[in-house]
């Protein structure tokens, strides 16, 4: 779904604050990456819509919340 962003909220064990980012990957791609990282105790690597990379150890994930895909916002009303 080109032009859409998905809000991703990641809870990390023993860390009080969530990691929040907006990704241009589809929900299916995000779900596959999260599932693989958790099942293999690998690193979860996600890139946000601005090109920043977030890396979290899969065995340290407390939860991951995926929002609904939304069309990218532009302008003053965003």
Q: What is the pLDDT of residues 6-22, one digit of tens each?
A: 999 999 999 999 999 99
Domains of the chain: 4-69 (2.30.30)
Sign of the CA dihedral running 21, 23, 27, 33: negative
Phi, psi of 14 (to 5 degrees): 65, 15
Residue 23 three-state SS: strand
pLDDT over threshold 80, residue 74? no
**Spatial CA neighbour of 12 closest among 63, 66, 47:** 63
pLDDT in tens, 47-61: 998 999 999 999 999
């Amino acid at each position: 779904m080109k032009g859409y962003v998905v809000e991703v909220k990641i809870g990390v064990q023993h860390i009080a604050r969530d990691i929040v980012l907006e990704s241009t990957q589809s929900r299916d791609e995000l779900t596959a990456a999260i599932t693989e990282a958790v099942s293999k105790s690998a690193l979860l690597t996600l890139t946000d819509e601005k090109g920043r990379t977030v890396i979290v150890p899969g065995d340290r994930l407390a939860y991951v919340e995926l929002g609904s895909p939304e069309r990218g916002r532009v302008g003053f009303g965003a």
